[in-house]
Structure 1
Amino acid sequence: MAGRLRAPTGRYAGRSAEERQAERRRRFLDAALGLFGDAPGFRAGTVAALSEAAGLSTRQFYEEFRTLEDVLAVLHLQVNDWAERAVRSALADAEGLPLAERAAVLFRAYAANVTADPRRIRITFVEIVGVSPRLEEQRLARRARWVELICAEARAAVARGEAAPRDYRIAATAFIGSVNGLLHDWSAGWVDATLDEVTDELVRQLLGILRPRDWTP
């Protein structure tokens, strides 16, 4: 498919073309969360199956997207945006709290958001991996955004005298790998623990990075 088909313009049934287009995209993305976020996943998906699940036609699909990969790309960013908004909102509410409490707020907000729907975990930790060079670039760019969020929190903690001064980029990248792996395994039932126990462990790991034993506040 060389490009998307042109969507109809003008008002219909009291709604503008933009409103109808937004609804179609939402229905396709909602359906994709169900199809890609559960077995057998994105790689077994088809345009016909997604269109049927959305209650729309394949022609309407091509009015909104070029390929299924485009749908997965949008969905991956959407899931991450939901989680980031939850974290930033929680951090704003935690302004002024000591580092340990602030870290707990951060990870409880993140974990609660991504685990609220197991399909979100599959989209962002499993289905996006290795699809194409384009999506790998997007995945790594989105991970870099999370790295920078953690580094920004670390720099603020250093400025307050609550954390050891150092470059945290490598440590933050490694830590995010632990976060993703542990939450995925917990969601899959491979970790016998409550979500609070998982979150507490992640907080302890982060505090260990920020406050090494050989550092004195």
Structure 2
Amino acid sequence: MAGRLRAPTGRYGGKSAVERQAERRRRFLDAALQLFGDTPGYRATTVAALSEAAGLSTRQFYEEFRTLEDVLTALHLEVNDWAEQAVLLAVAAAEGLPLPERAAAMFRAYAANVTGDPRRIRITFVEIIGVSPSLEEQRLARRATWVDLVCAEAKAAVARGEAAPRDYRLAATAFIGSVNGLLHDWNAGWVDATLDEVVEELVRQLLAILRPPGWKPPGT
């Protein structure tokens, strides 16, 4: 199919065409979160099943999306955006706190947001894998956003004299992989620990990266 069908224009039921389109899109994404993130999963979901779950028609689906992959693409971005917003709010609230407390606030916010709904973890770490080159590119781009955030925090910590000066990009990339892997395994029941213990471990790992053995704060 070359593109989406054209949606109706004008007001209907007191809502504009733009408002109706946004509502339809929201219903499709909410239905996709349930079907892709739970049962039956992205690969076993059809356009007809998603439309039925959203309480809409397949014609309305094609007015909003071209393919189910487009839905997964939008949902993956949204789930990541929710987590990023939670982390940025936590970072802002932790302004002025010592590095260990700032790191703990970041990871508590991220872990709570991602694990608060198991469907979000499945979308982020499972369903997105191996779908297509474009989705893989998006997954890596979103991971790069998290790497940038860690690097920015590391740079700020260096400026405050709380971390050793160095290029942290390689370490941050490896660390983000550890974060994602640990949270996925914890959610799957493969890690015998509480979520607080998982967060504490992540904080210890980050501090070990930022404060390697032998490093001392300036002036000590």
Is the shorter-chain TM-score for this pair beyond 0.5, marking a shared fold?
yes
Q: What residue number does 1:72 align with? A: 72
Q: What residue number does 2:181 align with? A: 181
Instruction: Verify: 1:58 aligned to 2:62, yes or no.
Output: no
In structure 2, C-alpha distance between the alignment counterparts of 1:2 and 1:35, rounded to whole Å: 26
In structure 2, C-alpha distance between the alignment counterparts of 1:126 and 1:207, rounded to whole Å: 28
Q: Describe the superposition over 1:84-113 as per-residue Cα deviations: whole angstroms up to 9, x where unpaired.
A: 000001110100000000000000000000
Counterparts in 2 of 1:1-217, with a 5 A limit? 1-217=1-217
In structure 2, C-alpha distance between the alignment counterparts of 1:40 and 1:140, rounded to whole Å: 25
Two-structure CA RMSD over aligned residues (Å): 0.7
Uncovered stretches (5+) of structure 1, i.e. residues with no partner: none
Q: Describe the superposition over 1:30-67 as per-residue Cα deviations: whole angstroms up to 9, x where unpaired.
A: 00000000133111111011001101000000000000
In structure 1, C-alpha distance between the alignment counterparts of 2:40 and 2:52, rounded to whole Å: 16
- The amino acid of 2:71's aligned partner reads V
In structure 1, C-alpha distance between the alignment counterparts of 2:27 and 2:108, rounded to whole Å: 30
SS at match of 2:136: helix
Q: Percent identity?
A: 85
- Per the normalisation by structure 1, the TM-score is 0.99
In structure 2, C-alpha distance between the alignment counterparts of 1:70 and 1:41, rounded to whole Å: 15
- Per the normalisation by structure 2, the TM-score is 0.97
Runs of 4+ in 1 over 4 A off after TM superposition: none
Uncovered stretches (5+) of structure 2, i.e. residues with no partner: none
In structure 2, C-alpha distance between the alignment counterparts of 1:14 and 1:27, rounded to whole Å: 18
